[in-house]
Amino acid sequence: MIRCRRVYEPASETDGQRGLVDRLWPRGCRKDSLALAAWLPDVAPSTALRQAFKGGTLDYAEFRRRYQKELAARPEHWWPLLEMAERGPLTLLYAARDEQQNNAQVLAEWLEDEMQRLGRPSSPACLAGELGGTINDDG
């Protein structure tokens, strides 16, 4: 399961591994306060794309399309997140105020699509839910 959460919200026991997916460190956050498994600034949108979206030059649909193009060109940047999501819950942290239209939402959708394309469950917990809540070695 991949979730998105504002970096300013307190960590939850259900977050699993937490990865910061912004290029810039969030204002007012101490590094030791975020309980991060990873900070992946290179997976964030390019500076030019981020600035165009934040400045209103691009609408969300165009930002999403261009960011997905950037992601497709750099799988080595998002692959670690895919591996983390395969091991269990993953929470993508972001600083944007808009909780619906931000880079973490696009990235989460991208990762879920990649996992589906590769035929991998998004996490053992999700797989357990699909199988009636039980996983055993009997098949």
Q: 24-75 pLDDT, tens per residue?
A: 999 999 888 888 999 999 999 999 999 999 999 999 999 999 999 999 999 9
Which residue segment(s) compose the domain that 35 sits in?
A: 2-130
Quick one: pLDDT at residue 88?
93
Q: Which of 45, 65, 44, 48 is nearest to 57 (CA)?
A: 48
Q: Tell me if the pTM is above 0.75.
A: yes
The owner of tokens 């591996």 is 83
Domains contained in the chain, number: 1
Amino acid at 62: E
10 Å Cβ neighbour count for 14? 10
The strand ranges marked E within the chain are 2-6, 17-20, 38-39, 90-94
The verdict on residue 8 lying in a domain is yes
10 Å Cβ neighbour count for 104? 26
Quick one: pLDDT at residue 83?
93
The verdict on residue 45 lying in a domain is yes
The owner of tokens 């035929």 is 119
Quick one: pLDDT at residue 122?
55
45 within 8 A of 105, measured Cβ to Cβ:
no
The verdict on residue 135 lying in a domain is no
Could you give the percent of the chain with pLDDT greater than 90? 78
Quick one: pLDDT at residue 138?
40
Question: How far apart (Å, rounded) are the C-alpha atoms in residues 22 and 109?
Answer: 16
pLDDT over 90 at 120, yes or no: no
The verdict on residue 60 lying in a domain is yes
